[in-house]
Amino acid sequence: MHHVQVKRRMGESDVAEVAELLATVALADGHRPLGEHKWLDLVHGGRTGFAGFVAREGRAGPLLGYAQLSRGHRTWGVEVVVVPEARGPDHCVTPDLLSAAVAEVGRQGGGHVHLWVAKPDDWWDDTAASCGLHRGRELLQMRRPLPFAHEDLGVTVRAFVPGEDEATWLEVNNRAFASHPEQGDWDLDTLLEREAEPWFDPDGFLLHERDGRLAAFCWTKVHEGEHRLGEIYVIGVDPDFQGLGLGRALVLAGLDHLAAAGIGTGMLYVDGDNAAAVSLYRSLGFEVDHLDRAYTGDVASTR
Ligand SMILES: CC(C)(COP(=O)(O)OP(=O)(O)OC[C@H]1O[C@@H](n2cnc3c(N)ncnc32)[C@H](O)[C@@H]1OP(=O)(O)O)[C@@H](O)C(=O)NCCC(=O)NCCS
């Protein structure tokens, strides 16, 4: 029999226990659970609206699962991480953690909820539906081998200069991603938080200028580990310069940078319904490795 406990603040030992669970699950699944935003929220002690939920064997046994609720700009984000042995339609750890998180949203005034599930199995549809959540956005993770031999593109790029390029980059990013739910309204704090991350490397953040303006950029991120992955982290072309071949050229510049760093696999995430980007990546030989899905729904206040 398992037991679910809610924690509105996580102490050092709680974070260490969750980190151990995440490492176990990462090893079993071949990818890291808990998105970047949520991990930062957890290790920085939790912003307003944060709640962690731990499920353990009995009252003091080992962790079987962890769910985290984080409040975003407009929505609540939930993620559920469960050890492989306690997953699936015959186990109730996942639905119990999820319903505890959804009930907490109700207690905190309700709102729109996004539950991200990496590589969802079929049983997730029913589990999510039992808590009032239904299929929403799908994020594809695409990969291709590196290096990528290609013709010279004749497009010059330079590295981002911290302390100088922030305002210009934010303007072009927000114009390129105007209709994107998470990437289109970045402010200086969001950018500086990323620049402070240990993986941040301005040499892998490439800018292309044309007519004295920032026209396009490709920001790469290296995932260290046994199997190093080179991510096209954010790629954008100013709307005034789209359709001119810059998207293609900048992705290739990013891949060249990653290959030169000795990385053998290029990777990126793209919204399944971003036809322009998916078609660009397919034409560059990227193939879908797996998909992550959001389940969404509106939760009523129970205050
Ligand atoms: C996606 C994006 C980077 C493409 O850049 P771009 O400079 O406009 O694209 P390119 O001119 O290099 O076109 C390259 C390929 O992209 C695809 N493509 C570009 N625009 C497209 C569109 N509107 N519809 C369908 N495919 C399109 C085509 O496959 C094209 O190849 P083709 O020229 O042989 O037809 C750009 O549209 C953009 O910044 N979009 C907003 C931000 C974004 O969605 N970024 C990707 C997030 S993962």
* 8 plus 93 within the same structural domain: yes
Distance 171 CA to ligand 1 centre (A): 19
* 34 plus 134 within the same structural domain: yes
Cβ of residue 254 lying under 6 Å from some atom of ligand 1:
no
Q: Give me the domain span that covers residue 15.
A: 2-138+292-299
**Number of C-alpha atoms within 13 angstroms, CB side, residue 159?**
9
**pLDDT per residue as tens digits for the range 38-77:** 888 888 777 778 899 999 998 888 999 999 998 877 789 9
Structural domains in the chain (count): 2
| Dihedral pair phi/psi, residue 241, rounded to 5° | -120, 10
* 164 plus 120 within the same structural domain: no
- Strand-pair category, 51-57 with 2-7: antiparallel
Q: What is the pLDDT of residue 17?
A: 94
Ligand 1 atom at minimum distance from 270 CA: 48
Is the pLDDT confidence value at 139 over 90?
yes
**pLDDT per residue as tens digits for the range 184-212:** 889 999 899 999 999 999 999 999 999 99
* 40 plus 105 within the same structural domain: yes
Per the domain annotation, does 17 fall within a domain?
yes
**pLDDT per residue as tens digits for the range 253-293:** 999 999 999 999 999 999 999 999 999 999 999 999 999 99
Ligand 1 atom at minimum distance from 248 CA: 12
Show the tokens assigned to 42: 């957890």
Q: What sign for the dihedral angle of Cα 215, 138, 22, 47? A: positive
Per the domain annotation, does 121 fall within a domain?
yes
Give the three-class secondary structure for 19.
helix
Per the domain annotation, does 269 fall within a domain?
no
Per the domain annotation, does 281 fall within a domain?
no
Q: Give the CA angle between residues 271, 201, 77 to the nearest 5°.
A: 40
Q: How confident is the model at residue 103 (pLDDT cuts 50, 70, 90)?
A: very high
